């Protein structure tokens, strides 16, 4: 089963839902989308290098096998969820600091 | 070269660390929020990574990582999450600063 595909997609959805649940609303902020753009711009050469070399080897049993350059498409969803979760929690704890 | 993964992590950190000297980024003033958000995300993604590495979702080429391993993963993979969570928050704060300076919103 394509477990990595499912997990990467689910993690991206989870981060987006958490933003709503915690009312951090980073997805409505311009700086969030610009930051995502900047992170992805730098993600392509670094993630690209790791997968081209390859430093990390992916098991074909668990991912689709579709790659952009050398990067599995799942890595983009994984990265999106990872970065979004980080920014959502950062905003959440910043706000808590301010209100306490 | 066995240091290649480590060098990629160092390269990712160079730009933000240099910029953080030049920009008055507020993240260091909120150490508690910084450590809590980085800590929780790292704990979640470390757990995920350890489980699926053991399951065989991916593996690490011994030619490009150091021999030091913990719970089946090279040290670089552990550092990866600390580096990226830090860089993500840094980038977000740097962008926010620029947007504010330009008088947006």
What is the SS3 string spanning chain A? CCHHHHHHHHHHHHHHHHHHHCCCCHHHCHHHHHHHHHHHHHHHHHHHHHHHCCCEEECCCCCCCCEECCEEHHHHHHHHHHHHHHHHHHHHHHHHHHHC
Tell me how crowded residue B18 is: count the other CB atoms within 10 A of its CB: 10
Quick one: pLDDT at residue B36? 98
Asked if the Cβ–Cβ distance from A30 to B5 is below 8 Å, we say: no
- How many alpha carbons fall within 13 Å on the CB side of residue A99? 6
pLDDT tens-digit map of A49-61 = 999 999 999 999 9
Chain CA centroid to CA B103, Å = 30
Chain A residue with the nearest C-alpha to that of B57: A59
Mean pLDDT for the stretch of residues A18-25: 98
Distance from CA of B41 to the nearest CA of A (A): 6
Mean pLDDT for the stretch of residues A23-28: 98
Q: What's the pTM?
A: 0.95
Whether B105 has a pLDDT exceeding 60, the answer reads: no
Per-residue tokens: A93: 């704890």
Asked if the Cβ–Cβ distance from A31 to B36 is below 8 Å, we say: no
Is any Cβ of chain A less than 8 angstroms from the Cβ of B79? no
CA distances from A16 to A12, A26, A81, B86, B89 (A): 6, 9, 8, 20, 17
Quick one: pLDDT at residue B23? 84
Whether A48 has a pLDDT exceeding 90, the answer reads: yes
B56 chain-A contacts, CB cut-off 8 A: 59, 61-62
As a whole number of angstroms, the distance between CA B30 and CA A72 comes to 35
Q: How far apart are the first and last CA of chain A?
A: 46
- Exposure b/e, A53-66, CB count within 10 A at least 16 = b: bbbbebeeebbeee
Give me the percent of chain A exceeding a pLDDT of 90: 96
Whether A30 has a pLDDT exceeding 90, the answer reads: yes
Any idea which of A35-44, B18-27, B93-102 has the lowest mean pLDDT?
B18-27
Note if the bond before A55 is cis, omega within 30 degrees: no
pLDDT band at B13 (very low <50, low <70, confident <90, very high): very high
Under the phi-then-psi rule, with left for phi > 0, alpha for psi from -120 to 50, and beta for the rest, what region is A10? alpha
Asked if the Cβ–Cβ distance from B37 to A93 is below 8 Å, we say: yes
Whether A35 has a pLDDT exceeding 80, the answer reads: yes
Asked if the Cβ–Cβ distance from A87 to B88 is below 8 Å, we say: yes
As a whole number of angstroms, the distance between CA B41 and CA A86 comes to 6
Quick one: pLDDT at residue B63? 98
pLDDT tens-digit map of B35-88 = 999 999 999 999 999 999 999 999 999 999 999 999 999 999 999 999 999 999
Whether A64 has a pLDDT exceeding 90, the answer reads: yes
Tell me how crowded residue A9 is: count the other CB atoms within 10 A of its CB: 16
E strand or H helix at B14, and its extent?
helix B4-22
Quick one: pLDDT at residue B103? 76
Boundaries of every domain in chain A: 3-99
Is any Cβ of chain A less than 8 angstroms from the Cβ of B32? yes
Asked if the Cβ–Cβ distance from A56 to B32 is below 8 Å, we say: no
Asked if the Cβ–Cβ distance from B33 to A42 is below 8 Å, we say: no
Per-residue tokens: B75: 């040290």
Is any Cβ of chain B less than 8 angstroms from the Cβ of A87? yes
Quick one: pLDDT at residue B27? 83
Asked if the Cβ–Cβ distance from A53 to B95 is below 8 Å, we say: no
A89 chain-B contacts, CB cut-off 8 A: 36-37, 40-41
């Amino acid at each position: 089963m394509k477990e990595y595909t499912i997990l990467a997609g689910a993690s991206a959805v989870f981060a987006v839902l958490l933003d709503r649940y915690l009312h951090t609303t980073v997805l409505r902020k311009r700086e969030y989308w610009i930051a995502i753009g900047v992170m992805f711009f730098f993600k392509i050469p670094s993630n690209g290098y790791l997968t081209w070399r390859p430093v990390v080897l992916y098991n074909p049993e668990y991912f689709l096998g579709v790659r952009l350059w050398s990067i599995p498409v799942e890595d983009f969803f994984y990265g999106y969820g990872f970065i979004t979760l980080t920014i959502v929690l950062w905003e959440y704890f910043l706000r808590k600091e301010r209100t306490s | 070269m066995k240091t290649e993964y480590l060098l990629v992590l160092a390269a990712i950190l160079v730009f933000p660390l240099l910029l953080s000297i030049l920009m008055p980024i507020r993240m260091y003033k909120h150490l508690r929020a910084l450590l809590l958000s980085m800590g929780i995300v790292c704990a979640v993604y470390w757990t995920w990574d350890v489980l699926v590495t053991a399951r065989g979702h991916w593996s690490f080429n011994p030619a490009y990582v150091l021999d030091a391993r913990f719970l089946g993963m090279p040290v670089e993979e552990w550092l990866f999450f600390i580096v990226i969570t830090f860089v993500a928050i840094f980038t977000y704060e740097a962008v926010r600063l620029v947007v504010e300076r330009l008088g947006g919103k």
